[in-house]
Amino acid sequence: MAGKRKGAGGPMKKKAYEARLEPMELELNRLQRWLQHTGGRLLTQPMPRWGRCQL
pTM of the complete model: 0.58
- 9: phi > 0 → left, psi -120 to 50 → alpha, else beta; which? left
In a domain, 2, yes or no: no
Q: Does some domain include residue 28?
A: yes
Q: Quick one: CA dihedral 36, 37, 41, 42, positive or negative?
A: negative
Residue 31 falls inside a structural domain: yes
Q: Is residue 30 part of a domain?
A: yes
| Residue-wise pLDDT tens digits, 26-39 | 999 999 999 999 99
Considering only CA atoms, give the Rg of the chain. 17
Q: What domain range includes position 27?
A: 13-38
Q: Can you tell me the distance from the alpha carbon of 11 to that of 23, in angstroms, rounded to the nearest whole number?
A: 20
| Contact between 34 and 40 (Cβ < 8 Å) | yes
pLDDT bin (cut points 50, 70, 90) of residue 1 is very low
Structural domain count, the chain:
1
Encode pLDDT of 6-54 as tens digits. 556 688 899 999 999 999 999 999 999 999 999 999 998 887 776 655 5
